[in-house]
């Protein structure tokens, strides 16, 4: 009998190339906001509050509230369509859809599945992620890692929320904060990574600080504890994010932090030494849209030409879980 096995030292004539690990980059951003504007003066007629209290405690002047026709999937789809148009590609190229939301009213199919169907995308992987207000940055990291691993090439990453559907409209401590909307990024495989490693985690002692739970299914929070954490701990994690990403703070074009409260965003920018850069303050006219807040602010500024191209920005979010997540993402190349 002849032994056909090659000798152990023999090398194959054409060795298989090492698998290449790519990065991803943002190639477009889009958003959707409902048409209904709810001002602080409107709220004065609904609960015991006033414009001055809301502006001085939160910075919010007005917010958008969904109409009956606006669902989490329809808003997510509209933001996705806007992002695809901004990127100059069609849904045919999309092989991964990740939606961050904590307010979808349907457990199955998930929102990503609905978006896929609405867009007519061929047969992408479609998953939802629920990490409340830090959900979008988590979703961006998951999509980036899928692209790095070679299991996707072009992703839609969406944050979409209808917080008005889980709001107690008689509770002045929460109803003045919340809003609805959606934002989306198109992420594509790239030789030079435009999305950094993520820095993420949880603060178990604050697990119950932000909840939407039965029997009321309404949003309740320990605002003071969250505020205290944001002022004392967020900058440390945000700073670590930039270091872990391989950048220095000096290289940052600016800051997109979760749009919860101007009294958190401005001190955070100051603590990081970013006050003189571009700092997103969309909360003033959009309120707190949870997982939608960062892509919504980013897409509006990108489409308005207010962001330099190919520039690294710090994205940092925190909220229910209690979770936080940060990464550095470059704006699209042009
Ligand atoms: C929610 C938040 C704006 C409240 O601000 P605050 O300065 O902590 O206000 P307090 O809750 O201490 O309330 C102060 C007073 O204002 C009153 N108040 C609360 N809401 C009010 C409103 N809408 N209008 C008028 N008065 C109000 C309170 O009843 C309280 O009155 P009292 O002193 O007579 O008891 C603030 O805590 C915050 O932004 N927290 C972080 C929230 C966050 O980032 N969440 C992220 C997860 S999405």
Superfamily covering domain 23-190: Thiolase/Chalcone synthase (3.40.47.10)
Q: In degrees to the nearest 10, what's the CA dihedral of 313, 83, 167, 41?
A: 80
State whether the beta carbon of 210 lies less than 6 angstroms from ligand 1.
Answer: yes
State whether the beta carbon of 257 lies less than 6 angstroms from ligand 1.
Answer: no
Q: Flag whether pLDDT at 314 surpasses 50.
A: yes
166: number of Cβ within 10 Å? 20
CA of 28 to the centre of ligand 1 (A): 36
> Atom 25 (ligand 1): residue with closest C-alpha?
49
pLDDT at 14: 60
Q: Which residues are designated catalytic? A: 133, 258, 288
State whether the beta carbon of 247 lies less than 6 angstroms from ligand 1.
Answer: no
CA of 43 to the centre of ligand 1 (A): 15
Q: Flag whether pLDDT at 320 surpasses 60.
A: yes
Q: In degrees to the nearest 10, what's the CA dihedral of 254, 313, 250, 202?
A: 100
pLDDT at 63: 98
State whether the beta carbon of 55 lies less than 6 angstroms from ligand 1.
Answer: no
The pLDDT confidence band at residue 4, using thresholds 50, 70 and 90, is very low
The pLDDT confidence band at residue 22, using thresholds 50, 70 and 90, is confident
Over the stretch 228-267, which tens digit does the pLDDT of each residue have? 999 999 999 999 999 999 999 999 999 999 999 999 999 9
State whether the beta carbon of 289 lies less than 6 angstroms from ligand 1.
Answer: no
Q: Flag whether pLDDT at 5 surpasses 50.
A: no
- Mean pLDDT, residues 17-42: 89
Pick the CATH number of 199-330 from 3.40.50.720, 3.30.390.30, 3.30.70.100, 3.40.47.10: 3.40.47.10
> Atom 8 (ligand 1): residue with closest C-alpha?
224
pLDDT at 18: 54
pLDDT at 20: 56
Name the CA radius of gyration of the chain, rounded.
21
Pocket test for ligand 1, best of 41, 130, 224 (most atoms within 8 A of CB): 224
Q: Flag whether pLDDT at 78 surpasses 80.
A: yes
- Mean pLDDT, residues 193-218: 96
Q: Give the pair of three-digit tokens for residue 169.
A: 């409209």
Over the stretch 265-289, which tens digit does the pLDDT of each residue have? 999 999 999 999 999 999 999 999 9
pLDDT at 133: 98
- Mean pLDDT, residues 94-100: 98
Q: Flag whether pLDDT at 13 surpasses 70.
A: no
pLDDT at 3: 44
Residue pair 188/332 in contact (Cβ under 8 Å)? The answer is no
Residue pair 207/330 in contact (Cβ under 8 Å)? The answer is no
Atom of ligand 1 nearest to the CA of 260: 44
Q: Flag whether pLDDT at 7 surpasses 50.
A: no
- Mean pLDDT, residues 154-170: 98
State whether the beta carbon of 283 lies less than 6 angstroms from ligand 1.
Answer: no
Pairing of strands 199-202, 323-330: antiparallel
Domain with CATH 3.40.47.10 in the chain: 23-190, 199-330
- Mean pLDDT, residues 129-144: 98
Mean pLDDT of the chain: 94
Q: Give the pair of three-digit tokens for residue 246.
A: 């391989």
For the chain, the three-class secondary structure string (H helix, E strand, C coil) is CCCCCCCCCCCCCCCCCCCCCCEEEEEEEEEECCCEEEEHHHHHCCCCCCHHHHHHHHCCCEEEECCCCCCHHHHHHHHHHHHHHHHCCCHHHCCEEEEECCCCCCCCCCHHHHHHHHHCCCCCEEEEECCHHHHHHHHHHHHHHHHHCCCCCEEEEEEEEEHHHHCCCCCHHHHCCECEEEEEEEEEEECCCCECCCEEEECHHHCCCEEEECCCCEEEECHHHHHHHHHHCHHHHHHHHHHHCCCCHHHCCEEEECCCCHHHHHHHHHHHCCCCCEECCCHHHHCECHHHHHHHHHHHHHHCCCCCCCCEEEEEEEECCCEEEEEEEECCCC
pLDDT at 6: 44
- Mean pLDDT, residues 138-149: 97
pLDDT at 19: 52
Q: Flag whether pLDDT at 8 surpasses 90.
A: no
Higher pLDDT, 80 or 18: 80
- Mean pLDDT, residues 77-103: 98
Atom of ligand 1 nearest to the CA of 173: 20
């Amino acid at each position: 009998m002849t032994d056909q096995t090659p000798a152990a030292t023999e090398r194959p004539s054409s060795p298989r190339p090492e698998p290449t690990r790519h990065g991803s980059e943002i190639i477009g951003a889009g958003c959707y906001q409902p048409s209904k504007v709810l001002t602080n003066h409107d709220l004065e007629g609904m609960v015991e509050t006033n414009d001055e209290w809301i502006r001085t405690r939160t910075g919010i002047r007005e917010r958008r509230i969904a109409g009956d026709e606006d669902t989490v999937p329809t808003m997510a789809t509209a933001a996705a369509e806007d992002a695809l148009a901004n990127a100059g590609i069609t849904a045919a190229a999309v092989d991964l859809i990740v939606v961050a939301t904590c307010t979808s009213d349907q457990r199955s199919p998930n929102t990503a599945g609905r978006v896929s169907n609405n867009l007519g995308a061929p047969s992408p992987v479609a998953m939802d992620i629920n990490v409340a207000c830090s959900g979008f940055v988590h979703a961006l990291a998951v999509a980036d890692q899928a692209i790095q691993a070679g299991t996707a090439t072009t992703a839609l990453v969406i944050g979409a929320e209808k917080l008005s559907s889980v709001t107690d409209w008689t509770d002045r401590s929460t109803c003045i904060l919340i809003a609805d909307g959606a934002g989306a990024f198109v992420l594509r495989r790239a030789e030079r990574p435009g999305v950094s490693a993520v820095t993420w985690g949880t603060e178990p002692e604050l697990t119950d600080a932000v909840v939407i739970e039965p029997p009321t299914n309404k949003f309740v929070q320990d605002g003071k504890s969250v505020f205290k954490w944001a002022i004392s701990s967020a900058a440390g994690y945000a700073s670590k994010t930039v270091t872990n990403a391989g950048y220095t703070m000096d290289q940052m074009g600016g800051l997109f932090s979760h749009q919860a409260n101007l009294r958190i965003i401005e001190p955070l920018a100051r603590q990081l030494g970013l006050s003189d850069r571009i700092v997103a303050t969309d909360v003033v006219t959009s309120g707190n849209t949870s997982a939608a807040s960062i892509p919504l602010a980013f897409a509006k500024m990108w489409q308005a030409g207010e962001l330099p191209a190919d520039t690294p920005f710090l994205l940092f979010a925190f909220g229910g879980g209690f979770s936080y997540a940060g990464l550095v993402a470059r704006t699209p190349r042009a």
